[in-house]
Structure 1
Amino acid sequence: MWGSPMLTERTGELARLSEALADCERGTGRVVLIGGGPATGKTALLDELPGLVGDRARLLRAVGSRAERNLGLGVVTQLLDAEPCVRDRLAPLDSRTWEEVGEQLLASGPPLVLAVDDVHFADSASQRVLLYLRRRLASARLLLVLTEWDRPHLAREPLHAELVRQPDHRIDLRPLSEAGAAQLIQDRGDRAATAFALTGGNPALLTALAEDGLGVGPRFRRAVLDCLTRWGPDFLAVAEALAVLGDAATPPLVAELRSTSAPVVGPVLEALEAAGLLRDQRLRHPDVVLESLDSEDAACLHTRAAELLHRRGAPAVEVARHLAAAGAVPGRWALRPLRHAAEQSVVDDAELAVRCLELALKACEDERERVELSAALVRAAWRINPALADRHLGPLAGRSDLGWREAVPVVRLRFWQGDPAGELLRATRARAGAPHPRAAAELRIATEWIHGGLADHVPLAADGTSWQRTAHLLETWASGAPSDALRAAEHVLQSCAHDVLPEAASAAVLALDHTGHADRARHWCDVLTDQARRQGATTARALITAVRADMSWRRGDLIAAETQAQEAMRLLHPQSWGVLVGLPLSTAILANSALGRHDVAADLLTRPVPEQMAATTFGLHHLHALGRHALATGRTLAALDAVERVATRMRGANAAMPTTLPWRSDLAQAYLLLGRRDEARQLVTEQLASASGGVRVRAIALRVLAACSGGHQRVSLLGEALPLLERCGDRLELARALADLSQAHSELGQLSNARLVLRKADQVAKACQAEVLPHRVRDDLGTRPPREVASTTTPLLSEAERKVAELAARGETNREIGRRLHITVSTVEQHLTRVYRKLDVRNRTELPAELSHLDDDSGDLLQPL
C-alpha cells in the first residue's frame, strides 16, 4: 500500500545508525541523538531498529512520558521488560541504586542497544541510569539511541542536558521534500504537489492524507490535531490563536490573545514551522483547529481578538469579522466598526455585511439609527436572497419618513413583490426632494422593465445630467433608435463596478440585444456573471442568468435556453424570485415546448406564481409561453384564450414601452387555425405597420402574413422574412420559415425548390433540436422523392371529415364533437382515423399544422404554424 515514512528520504539516517551499531559490535559504545519537530518521524526511525539490529545485539526499548515523569525508574522498567533475567536479579527494583541497575545492564553478553523515545520525559532516576551507562561507553559494547523534541530556545534540565551532550551522531529530522512526498504517497504530478502543499512534507500528515485518499478527511484532521496536542498545551494554544487571528497574527498579538509572553510563543512558532505545520508563520489548516474549538471558547477568542485589533487601529472589516464570528457586541465601541465594515463589504462580501448589520441592529438603541441600519440590512440581504431581505423589512414597513437612502432598498423589494411602490416614491420625493440622478435613472429603468411603466405622477429623473438621458432607456429602445439605445445601455452597464441595480443592468443588456448589438449584450452578460460570482451576489447572478436564457431562446438555442433558465431558478427559490420568476419560468416553458418536451412544459405551467405577477411584464411573458404551449399541443381554444389576454394587455400598454413579444403574430396564428383568415391578416398587417418590436418580431409577422397568403405572394413574403431571421440569429423561427417556404414552392409545383428548402429547414431544426417539421415529412426526407402535385380537383377530405378534423384541431373531445355534429362517438373516431391516414399524421396534436392550408390535395409538404 503506502510506503513507510522511514523508507523515504531516510537512507542516510539509517546508514548512520548502522555505522554506530557496527562500532558497538567492535567494542566501542556510541550515542545517537535523533531530534526534530512534531511528527517528523523520530519514532518511526526507531521502529526500523529491530530489522537493523536483528541477532547482532540485544534491543531494549522504552518511551518517556510526561504523565510518568514522577514514576521512579519508570523508563528502566520498560527496558527491563525485554530482559526478564536481569529484572529478576534486580528485584525489587526500587531498592536498587542506579549504579547497580547500570552494572546489571552492562553484564557480559551480546552487544546492547538501548532505544529511548522522548528521553526528555524520562524520570530522573532512569536518566541517572542512562547517564551512568553513557560514561562507560568507551569500554562497553553499548549503543544508546535517544530521541528528543527539537526546541532550541528552551533550556534542558541538567540530567537531560548531560545525557544528550555531544552525541557521537546527531540526526536532525526535517519534513520531506516535494520529491520525497511524491515517493511516500506513490503519486506524481499535480496530486503530489497538492499533497506537499497541504502537509509541508510532514511524514505523519502525508500518511494520514494518503489514508484519506489524498483529500482532507477525518484521518488527516485527526493527525493535525495530534501533532498540536502531543507537544504540550502551549502548542495547541498558540495554534488556536493563529487560527483565530488569521493574516493579522503576529507573535506579540498571539501572546496577548493567549495571555502569555512572546518568548514562549516564538519557539513554538519555530517548532511548528520546522514540522511543516506552518508556512510563513500561518497555519496550513486553520479550519481544522477552528472546528475543534468549543463554540464558547471560539466566541471568547474572537471577541478578545476584536478588542485587541480595535485597540491597535486595525481596519473595520478585520475587527467586524471577529465580532461576527463571536456573534456578540461586547460594547458600544463595536457598533462603529460593524457599520463601517458593512458599508465597505456590501458589494464584495454581502454575507459579512448582513452578519455585521444584524449584530449592530440588535445592540442599537437609537430609533433613527435603527432605521438606517435596517435599510442597509435590507440592501445587503437582497444581494444574497430577496426573501431574506423581506424578513428584515419590519422596522421600515409603513414608514413615511424615509430618506432616499432608506427608501430605495424598500422600493426595490416592493418591485420584486409586484408593487410599483408609487405611494412610497411620492412620499419620499415630497419629504426628501429629488433623488440622486443615478438612483432616479436606475429606479425608473427597473420599474418600467418590471411593471411596464411608472406609477402615476412619480417623476424619477433629474434634468441636466447624463443620467437624465439614460433614464429613458426603454423609450429609446421602443422607438427603434439603436445608436441611442446603445449609448444609454452602455452608460448603465459601465457603472456596474459601482454596484448598479441588477434590474437596470438586465434591462440594459436586453436593450442591446433587441436593438442589434448582440455581441455587446453577450459581453456584458459575461462581465455581470463573473462579477456576481466573484462578489457572491446570488440575486444578481440569478437575474443575469435568466436574461442569458431569454437571449438563448431568441437565438433558437433551445438546450442552452432551457439549461440557463433552470439554473436561474435553482440559484433562487421561487419565493425569492417574486414576480420576476416569470422571466426564467417562461423561457423554460417555451424551450421545452419547442423541444417537444410537452410534459415538462405542462409541469412548469402548473408551478404556482405570485398573483401580482399577472399585472407585470413578466405576467405577459408567462401568458405568451402558455399560449405557445397550447398551440404546440393542438389546444387551439386554450391558446386563443391566452393570446387574447396578452393582446388586451398590450393594446392598453404604454406606447413608449418596447414590444418584445410577437403577440399579434401569436393571435393571428390562433385565428388561422380557427379559419379566421381575414382577422389574422389584419393583425399581422398592423404589426408590420408598427415601428416597434424589432427585426425578429417583424420577421415572424411576415411569416404569419405569408401563411395568410397564397401563390407567389407567399414565396415573396417568406423571402423577405428569411434574411431578417438570419440577421437576428433566430434559428428556430428560421427553420419554421424555411418549412413554410418549402410548402409554398410545393404548392406552386416547384418541387425541386421545395425539396432543397425542406432539407435546409430540417438541418436548421436539427441544430435547434426542435420539432418543426411533421413526423411524416421528416421521415420522407430520406426515403422517397416528392409526389407530383395531384391534377384532380377532388378535395382530400370529405366535408364530414373536414368538420370533424377542424373541431378536433380546436381541442374538442370526441364526445363534444359528436354532440355538436349530432353523430355518435364511434362515427367521430372513424372520421378521425381516415383523416389521420389521408393527412399522414399520428394524432390530433398535428392536425392544426396540417389543416391551416388544406384547401385541396396540394401535395404532402404541409406547413406547421
Structure 2
Amino acid sequence: MLTERTSELARISESLADCERGRGRVVLIGGGLATGKTALLDALGDLVGERAALLRAVGSRAERELRLGVVTQLLAGAEPVVRDKVARLAESPLDVRSLEEVGALLLESGGERPVVLAVDDVHLADPESQQALLYLRRRITSARVLLVLTEWERPNLARESAHAELARQPDHRIDLAPLTPAGVAELLDSEDVCATTAFELSGGNPFLLGALLEDGLVVGPHLRRAVLDCLTRWDADFLAVAEGVAVLGDSASPALVAELLAMTARSVGPVLDALGAAGLLRDHHLRHPDVLLESLEPAEAARLHARAAELLHRRGAPAVEIARHLTAAGAVPGRWAMRPLRYAAEQSLVDDPELAVGCLELALNSSEDDGERVELRAALVRAAWRINPAIAARHLGPLADRRDLCWRDAVPVARLRLWQGDPGAAGELLRITRAHAGEPHPREAAELRVAAEWIHGRSLDVEPLNSGDASWQATAGLVGTWTREVPGEVLRAAEHLLQCCAGEVLPDAAAAAVLALDHVGHADRARHWCDALIAQARRQGATTARALIGAARADMSWRRGDLIAAEAQAQEALRLLHPQTWGVLVGLPLSTLILVNSALGRHDTAAELLTRPVPDEMAATTFGIRHLHATGRHHLTSGRTLAALDAFERVAARMRAGDPAIPTTIPWRGDLAQTYLLLGRRREARELVAEQLAGTSGGVRILAITLRVLAACSDPRQRVAVLREAIQLLERCGDRLELARALADLSQAHNELGQLRNARLVLRKADQMAKACQADILSHRLRDSLDAARPEAAPTPAGTPLLSEAERKVAELAARGQTNREIGRRLYITVSTVEQHLTRVYRKLNVRKRTELPAELSRLHDSEESHAVTRVSEGTGTRTSDEATARY
C-alpha cells in the first residue's frame, strides 16, 4: 500500500540517481508499528529495475546470534565461493581486515552496476552485520552504493552503538506515519461512509487496513489476527502493555497500567507513545480492546481484573467502575468489595440492569451473612425482573416464606407471583408486609394494583395496596374505569401512570395503561407512549419492558387490521423473552399471532401456535380468555364450526361468570353469534346481539362488530342501514380488517336487493381494504363475489363461457352432493348467495334438480373445449365487455 508515499519514493529515487553518478547515499526509513516500512522497501524492486543490483536482507530477533547473518542474506545470490568466504569470516571475531573483505564482497556483488543494499529492521541485525554495514557506510561517499535501512520508531529507547552509528545523519530520513483519512479514502477509491469506517477501525495503519479489507470492512478474523501480530512482533512488553490498557479501559493511564503490570511508568510511557503513533490507540484508548481481552487466558484475565478493581478502589474510583472489574473477574478478592458491588447494583439498576444482576449474584455467592443474603436476593429479584423474569424466579424460593420484607422488596416478589399465576400467594405476601411495614408507597401500590387487575381481574385482594394518596388511588383504579368505559378518567389515570415512567419502564402497568388508552379512543396517545417506552427500554437494556410493551403494540396493530405489523411485533416480543419466561402473560403475544395467522389464511401456522405449551395457571387469567378466543377464531376461519362453537361458548361462560373488572376488549358475543348463524341458530344469534347492544361496555370496535352480526340476522332491506352504521364506526376506530368484512357484507346485501351497481362499487372498496390488510383469503372471496355480482350479458356470443366462474364453482360442488350450507362455508359466501347462483345455473343449463348437474356440466365442458379450439384456429382474441369487467 503506497498511498500517500509519493514524496518518500521521490527521495529514494533521487538517492538512486546520485548513486548512479558515483555518490553513495544512505536512506533511513523509520516509523511505528506496521506503518508500511517494508512495503516501501518492496517498491525498490520496481524503482531499481535493471539500473542496479538490489540485495535485500531482514533483521530478526531470533537470528541475532547468527554471525554475519544479514550479510549472508545480502549475498544469497552470489557465487558459492563468495558465500563460503563469508562463512569462514563469520567463524572468528571480525577485525579491520575481515571487515574490509566483507565490504569488498558487497561492493563487487553488483559487477559493473551500482549496488543497492536494502536491510529491513536493521536494529535487529546481528552485531557483526551491523559492523560490516557501518564499515561500508564510512566508505561509500564516492562509491556507487545506495544503503536503504528501516528501523522501528522508538524515540525513548537508546540504540545500540553500531545501530546508532548507522542511523546517525543519513542523507535522507523518511518518517512514516499512518495514513490520513484522505489517504484511506484514496486507497478505497471512496469518500463515503466506508472510508470513514475504515479509518476508524484501522487508524490509518496500512497493515491493519489491508486486513480490514480482507474482512470486508468489518472487524473479522483477519483484522483480529493483524492486531495481535502487530503487538507480538515487537518487544514482549508491547503486548503486555496493550493488554493492561484493554483491561483498564477508560481508567487507563501510564501510572495505573504500570502498577497493574508491576512495571515502571517510565517503561510504559514510550510503549503507549509507540502504540499511538501506529494508530492502535485512539484518544489514549485501544481501538480494539476486545481483541486483546479475548486473547487473554481466563485465569490471567480474572487476575488482571481483580487487581484492577483493587487499584481503582484504593484511588476512590466510582463503584460502578470497580464493579465492572469485579464481575469480569468473577470473584470477590476481599470483604472490601461487597460495598462497591451493592452500590453499583443500585446505581445501575435503571440504565444497566445486566451489570446490576451480575453485581448482586457475585455478592450473593460471596456473602455468609443470612440477613445480607435476604437483602441481596430481594434486590436480585428487582433487578433481574428487568432483563429476564426467569432469573428472578430462581431467587424466589428463599423469599417465599419471609415475613420481614420491606415494601421495596415485597412488591417485586408479589409482581413475580402474579406473572406465575399465583395471585393468592401475592395477596398473602402483601397482607403480611402491610402488617409489619405499614402503608406501601403510593406509586408502587398503584402500579401493582393496575398490573394485578389487568392480569387477574380482581382475584387479588387489593386492600393491602390502599394508600392515603388520592391522586394515586385514582390511578390505581385504572382497570376499573376502563371496564366502566369512562374515557376521561381512563385518560387521566393512564397518563398519570405513564408520565411517572420517565425514569424507569414499568412493563405490566405501562402495558395496561397504553391498551386502556387505545381502547377508549386515544389511539394516538397510546402509540406515542408505546414508541417512547420501547425506545426508553432499549436504551436502558430493559428486555422485559421491550417485550411486554411490544406485545401490547402488536395487540393494537391487530385491532387496526395491520396484520403484518402485528405479526412482526408479536414475534419480536416472543424473541426477546423465551415463551417459558413470560409466565401467564405469554397469552398476549401468542393470541395475537394466532389471530393474525388465522386472518391471513395460514391455518397450519396457527394450528402449530395452538400446540405450544402454556402455563396451566394461564387459564384463570385474562390472557387465558384471550387465548381461548383466538382458538375459536382459528377454528372458525378454518371451517371447523363446531370446534369454534365450543371455544366461544367456553369464553362466554368465563366472561359471564367471571370477574366484572375484566375489560371487555374481546368481541366474544359477536363471534359466538356469527357461529350460531353458520349453524342455522338464528334466534340465539339475535339474542346475543341484543344482549351486547343493551350493555354499555365494549367500545366502538365491538359495537361495530356487533352491528355487522346484527345485519346478518336481518332481512336485506334492514341490513343495508345497519351495515352502513357499522362501517361508519369502523372507519372511526380504524380497524381495516373488520371494515373489509363489513363492506363485503354490504355489497352482498345490495346484490340480494338487485342493486348490482352498488354491490360492485362497495365490493371493490372491500377488496382494496382486504388487500391493504394482506388478508389473501378474504381477497379471493371478494373477487369471487364480485364476479357473481356483475350483470348477466343478455345474448352470450359464441364461444363465451355460459357459466361465470362463481356459478361454475357452486355448480361443481352441488354436483358432488354438498349442501347449500356446506358450499357457503367452502366458498365463504352466504347460503342465500349459493341459492341465487344455483337458480341461474339451473336456468342456463335447463335443469330442474341437482342430480342432473353432473351430466350437464360434462357436456358444457366438452362444448367449451370445442369452442376454444375453434377460437385458436381462427386467431380470435376478443373478450366480452362482461369478461373485461370481471377482471377489475
Q: Distance in 2 between matches of 1:670 and 1:12?
A: 86
Give the conservation status (yes or no) of the 8 Å contact 1:36–1:173: yes
Q: Distance in 2 between matches of 1:626 and 1:266?
A: 69
The Cα of 1:641 is off from its aligned counterpart by: 1.4
Q: Distance in 2 between matches of 1:856 and 1:607?
A: 43
In the alignment, structure 2 segments of 5+ residues that lack a partner are 794-811, 841-888
Pick from 279, 289, 294: which aligns with 1:291?
294
Over 3 Å counting, the alpha-carbon distance change for 1:842 and 1:90 in structure 2 is: same
- Asked whether 1:705 is paired with 2:710, we answer yes
Number of the residue aligned with 2:830: 850
Q: How does 1:446-845 map to 2 (within 5 A)?
A: 446-456=451-461, 458-770=463-775, 778-782=783-787, 785-786=790-791, 833-835=816-818, 844-845=825-826
The one-letter amino acid of 1:778's match is: R
Pick from 205, 210, 215: which aligns with 2:208?
205
Over 3 Å counting, the alpha-carbon distance change for 1:767 and 1:127 in structure 2 is: closer
Over 3 Å counting, the alpha-carbon distance change for 1:780 and 1:685 in structure 2 is: closer
SS in 1 for 2:57: strand
Q: Distance in 2 between matches of 1:117 and 1:775?
A: 76
Q: Distance in 2 between matches of 1:457 and 1:196?
A: 60
Number of the residue aligned with 1:391: 394
- Asked whether 1:262 is paired with 2:265, we answer yes
The Cα of 1:514 is off from its aligned counterpart by: 0.4
Deviation sequence 1:528-547 (CA, Å, 0-9, x none): 11112222222111111111
Pick from 82, 89, 92: which aligns with 2:88?
92
Give the conservation status (yes or no) of the 8 Å contact 2:771–2:779: no
- Asked whether 1:242 is paired with 2:245, we answer yes
Number of the residue aligned with 1:78: 73
The Cα of 1:60 is off from its aligned counterpart by: 2.7
The one-letter amino acid of 1:21's match is: L
Q: Distance in 1 between matches of 2:545 and 2:197?
A: 34
- Asked whether 1:327 is paired with 2:330, we answer yes
Number of the residue aligned with 1:228: 231
The Cα of 1:236 is off from its aligned counterpart by: 0.8
- Asked whether 1:67 is paired with 2:59, we answer no
The one-letter amino acid of 2:23's match is: T
Pick from 100, 125, 130: which aligns with 2:128?
125
Q: Distance in 1 between matches of 2:65 and 2:460?
A: 85
Deviation sequence 1:370-420 (CA, Å, 0-9, x none): 111111112222222222221232321332332222222211111111111
Give the conservation status (yes or no) of the 8 Å contact 1:444–1:454: no
Q: Distance in 2 between matches of 1:645 and 1:152?
A: 84
- Asked whether 1:368 is paired with 2:364, we answer no
Over 3 Å counting, the alpha-carbon distance change for 1:786 and 1:858 in structure 2 is: farther
The one-letter amino acid of 2:701's match is: R
SS in 2 for 1:116: strand
SS in 2 for 1:214: coil
Pick from 100, 104, 119: which aligns with 1:103?
100
The Cα of 1:456 is off from its aligned counterpart by: 3.4
Pick from 427, 432, 442: which aligns with 1:427?
432
Over 3 Å counting, the alpha-carbon distance change for 1:740 and 1:58 in structure 2 is: closer
Deviation sequence 1:653-672 (CA, Å, 0-9, x none): 33343211112222222222
Decide which moves more: 699-708 or 577-586: 699-708
The Cα of 1:287 is off from its aligned counterpart by: 1.0
Decide which moves more: 168-177 or 710-719: 710-719
The one-letter amino acid of 1:284's match is: R
Pick from 408, 416, 419: which aligns with 1:416?
419
Q: Distance in 1 between matches of 2:789 and 2:718?
A: 29
The one-letter amino acid of 1:527's match is: A
Q: Distance in 2 between matches of 1:349 and 1:667?
A: 48
Deviation sequence 1:410-459 (CA, Å, 0-9, x none): 11111111111222222222222221100100000000000112423643
Number of the residue aligned with 1:791: none
Q: Distance in 2 between matches of 1:349 and 1:66?
A: 47
The Cα of 1:25 is off from its aligned counterpart by: 2.4
The Cα of 1:771 is off from its aligned counterpart by: 5.8
Q: How does 1:152-191 map to 2 (within 5 A)?
A: 152-191=155-194
Q: When the two structures are superposed, what TM-score results if normalisation uses the length of structure 2?
A: 0.87
Give the conservation status (yes or no) of the 8 Å contact 2:622–2:662: no
- Asked whether 1:18 is paired with 2:19, we answer no
Q: Distance in 2 between matches of 1:741 and 1:116?
A: 91
Pick from 26, 51, 66: which aligns with 1:56?
51
Give the conservation status (yes or no) of the 8 Å contact 1:185–1:207: no
Q: Distance in 1 between matches of 2:4 and 2:142?
A: 34
Number of the residue aligned with 1:826: none
Over 3 Å counting, the alpha-carbon distance change for 1:410 and 1:23 in structure 2 is: same
Identical residues among aligned pairs (%): 71
Over 3 Å counting, the alpha-carbon distance change for 1:633 and 1:123 in structure 2 is: closer
Q: Distance in 2 between matches of 1:481 and 1:374?
A: 41
The Cα of 1:225 is off from its aligned counterpart by: 0.8
Over 3 Å counting, the alpha-carbon distance change for 1:688 and 1:260 in structure 2 is: same
- Asked whether 1:42 is paired with 2:37, we answer yes
Deviation sequence 1:204-242 (CA, Å, 0-9, x none): 111111222322222221111111111101111111011
Over 3 Å counting, the alpha-carbon distance change for 1:25 and 1:699 in structure 2 is: same
Aligned residues: CA RMSD: 2.5
Give the conservation status (yes or no) of the 8 Å contact 2:515–2:552: yes
The one-letter amino acid of 2:60's match is: S
Q: Distance in 1 between matches of 2:834 and 2:787?
A: 24
Over 3 Å counting, the alpha-carbon distance change for 1:554 and 1:103 in structure 2 is: same
Q: Distance in 2 between matches of 1:317 and 1:574?
A: 32
Pick from 115, 118, 124: which aligns with 2:118?
115
Q: Distance in 2 between matches of 1:605 and 1:87?
A: 84
SS in 2 for 1:781: helix
The one-letter amino acid of 2:693's match is: L
Over 3 Å counting, the alpha-carbon distance change for 1:40 and 1:854 in structure 2 is: closer
Q: Distance in 1 between matches of 2:675 and 2:160?
A: 98
Number of the residue aligned with 2:314: 311
The Cα of 1:364 is off from its aligned counterpart by: 0.9
Deviation sequence 1:665-714 (CA, Å, 0-9, x none): 22222222333322222222121121111111111112222222224333
SS in 2 for 1:179: helix
In the alignment, structure 1 segments of 5+ residues that lack a partner are 789-828, 861-865
The one-letter amino acid of 1:750's match is: Q
Q: Distance in 1 between matches of 2:785 and 2:684?
A: 34
Over 3 Å counting, the alpha-carbon distance change for 1:116 and 1:717 in structure 2 is: same
Number of the residue aligned with 1:803: none
Number of the residue aligned with 2:884: none
Number of the residue aligned with 2:883: none
Give the conservation status (yes or no) of the 8 Å contact 1:99–1:129: no
Give the conservation status (yes or no) of the 8 Å contact 2:767–2:779: no
Give the conservation status (yes or no) of the 8 Å contact 1:451–1:617: yes
SS in 1 for 2:742: helix
Over 3 Å counting, the alpha-carbon distance change for 1:587 and 1:419 in structure 2 is: same
The Cα of 1:319 is off from its aligned counterpart by: 0.6
The Cα of 1:186 is off from its aligned counterpart by: 4.8
Over 3 Å counting, the alpha-carbon distance change for 1:858 and 1:736 in structure 2 is: farther
Over 3 Å counting, the alpha-carbon distance change for 1:600 and 1:859 in structure 2 is: farther
Give the conservation status (yes or no) of the 8 Å contact 2:313–2:322: yes
Q: When the two structures are superposed, what TM-score results if normalisation uses the length of structure 1?
A: 0.89
Decide which moves more: 715-724 or 354-363: 715-724
Give the conservation status (yes or no) of the 8 Å contact 2:377–2:399: yes
The Cα of 1:140 is off from its aligned counterpart by: 2.7
